[in-house]
Structure 1
């Protein structure tokens, strides 16, 4: 499903999505997900954002400053345009009934299925742990609990993430079949056409790789990161992501900020070389982010507001989760 289809009947959809609080959000997050979340909110779609603090434990021995990172995630959300009066923002750890769904859901999938799951394989491959904990194998089922606790019927994903969502659809279908109910919808994917934004080294933009431009970075920090970005020896600027990932990543970043076609923007810079390209990118990124960063600075001065947003979101999410857990227990004959 595409976002244009949702726009026709926004009141029919409930969307669940979110992020792990492991560090500041960056431009890759903004153009990949945040921008569309704000768009969905403005359409009138019911939106729930989970700050997945429990999920940070899947690939590390302990969470690093989880409360601080959670508040900073909310800070980035609000600065980007998420309205807590219209969107429910909550932490995993604040909604016990959601996490109780994990046990009955685990009974609906086999060990072999979990081992084959692309999410599990990817998390194991990128794990920072010396050994993989049992929690790693519950990761896709925990994702299913996130989605199904609120009976979300739409989940934003890229095409490469479709197999991840299939576990949730399978659990919903098997629960309904086993207990002769229609309690859970099989959520549909909301396909994103957002391009993958490379980092300053030409690879995937990532907090852990040090190649990302944080939304909250200063203009000087942004200029320094872009100045050090990887390019190549060809002075003529073209947009060719396969052959020139570094140059093309910078072109794409400027094009996104200017709402331009990247090939046209590259042709405009032409023989100006990497220096002209980096100056253009620096100016356009800083101009684009200036209003967001101003809001972020203002909001950052009121940490109590960030905590209040999470508290209000937790209250709404708990009401939903407790009602769903009650329905699950009833369907299973547990009262």
Structure 2
């Protein structure tokens, strides 16, 4: 069981676009790798196949790297393919960085770690892994968890709904008891609604031009209230937070209809996520209204992208610490076996 017997071979979104990845998958590379194991060309493998990557982490066993690469069947199968290949310590570093989200489109995202863990568990169930792969993948999964915990990279939200919620939470000290009105019930509105409910927010009202669609949402979230769309202005006045995400081609909330009714002794947060805008920009001139729109959200998104890149650089040392620990473990293991 030696580190140099560990290799990774495959393709990702960095090498191939979606169409080329689909064509590669149609060749059924996993079946080919399975054949290599059955015929003892390799000791074991773990396949990580997602929408962005098709990768095989392989234990060469007793076979040399040179013999593997010069195997006629291997050369023929991967002929004309723009695959990447890494071995030994370089392959381990690659796996560890994948598990920490270094090569994800959204840097540091959680999904890739879950996918690696699932791939590992699948390999155990199918009996395609090996002792070498078990050790390396366990260390990679362990590192992925530690990296996210210590770096707190997920605190830099990158989804539109998560950033929208952050705007609201930063503007309102205690969200739980606030009255929230959501105009529109499209995908984004539903995602925000879901996050608000997870925050234990109780007083949420939704409205939509097509009322029966709003009632369908209420069937999912029983505590949500539904009002008729023509009652929206009255509901705005009584709300603390107003989120508008309709598909209307015109303004839905107008200054001339609301200004005289707005309560001067309370603060309002308006969040306009519609294109074109739902909320009259003139409302932001009222002293007790904070109005945010998509431009504000994208500014936070861009800052968070940069923050994530800085976090990766700052906490990259954790990867090399884990590699060093792994190398020492293998040195100890080899010494125990030779004594």
Greater per-residue strand proportion: 2
Higher relative contact order (CA 8 A, sep 6+): 1
- In our comparison, the structure showing a higher alpha carbon Rg is 2
Instruction: Point out the structure with the larger helix share.
Output: 1
Superposition TM-score, scaled by structure 2 size: 0.28
